[in-house]
Structure 1
Amino acid sequence: MIGIPGNVRIYLACGATDMRRGFDSLAAQVQTMLRLDPHDGALYAFRGRRGDLIKILWWDGQGLCLFSKRLERGRFVWPQAREGSVALTAAQVSMLLEGIDWRTPVRTWQPDAAC
């Protein structure tokens, strides 16, 4: 199990990211577009164009980790930035990663009613 500290900062990259990118090109995007250091211990999340795939880049103190998650149904609801940044609570981030629309807590897909 990988333990991520509870007080870690999480940054969501605006727009869609090419999901063919790996460690180096995502770290370069953090440096050039966000003007942040990818080795500072924060989590950097990137979403694909279709919205069903995210990648998260994280420096654990020894090296860069790259996590990915693909939803079989639904999509990840990404916030729209009206200004420079968007603040989400830990609960909203948790819902975002589960494919739940954090603005109105409902899943982006509904299971079939086969009972």
Structure 2
Amino acid sequence: MKMFVEPDDIYLHTTAVDFRKSINGLLNIVESELELDAFSGALFIFCNKKQDKLKLLYWDKTGFALWYKRLEKHRFKWPKVHELDRLRLSEQQLQWLLGGYDVIGHSTLNYRASGL
């Protein structure tokens, strides 16, 4: 996903969100439930109950931006980590999530030149 900013951190809200909420409603979740600073430059990811829609919220230094993605036939592989309110993701895990892959159990790939 190409955005106009590169987020400092990426947080996934693990429980389903009422998708009638827009920027102000999601900001309330970030600050009250996740207890994070919405102005920090982080990207916040929310999913609906059916897990076929995502909303991504971030501060871009001039205002809040809200991105929306809907899948037509499938569901996002949403982590089933109900004991946590949030999950911190890497940029690669965000790409996996948006591409339909399960982000839990994956770790970022680091390639090194072999000593051969």
In structure 1, the residue matched to 2:11 is: 11
Q: Considering only aligned residues, what root-mean-square deviation do their CA atoms show, in Å?
A: 2.2
Aligned residues: 104
2:76, 2:100 within 8 Å by CA — same for their partners in 1? yes
Paired with 1:56 and 1:86, the residues of 2 have a C-alpha distance of: 14
Paired with 2:88 and 2:42, the residues of 1 have a C-alpha distance of: 14
1:39, 1:59 within 8 Å by CA — same for their partners in 2? yes
In structure 2, the residue matched to 1:30 is: 30
Give the alignment's TM-score, normalised by structure 2: 0.77
Letter in 2 for 1:54: L
How far the C-alpha of 1:28 sits from its partner, in A, is 0.6
How far the C-alpha of 1:82 sits from its partner, in A, is 6.7
Give the share of equivalent positions with the same residue, in percent.
36
Measured at CA, do residues 64 and 97 of structure 1 come closer, stay the same or move farther in structure 2, by a change above 3 Å? same
How far the C-alpha of 1:103 sits from its partner, in A, is 5.0
Paired with 2:73 and 2:63, the residues of 1 have a C-alpha distance of: 32
Higher RCO (Cα < 8 Å, 6 or more apart) = 2
Measured at CA, do residues 92 and 61 of structure 1 come closer, stay the same or move farther in structure 2, by a change above 3 Å? same
Paired with 2:49 and 2:39, the residues of 1 have a C-alpha distance of: 26
Pairs within 5 Å for 1:1-115? 2-5=3-6, 8-81=8-81, 84=84, 86-103=87-104
Letter in 2 for 1:20: R
Measured at CA, do residues 32 and 102 of structure 1 come closer, stay the same or move farther in structure 2, by a change above 3 Å? closer
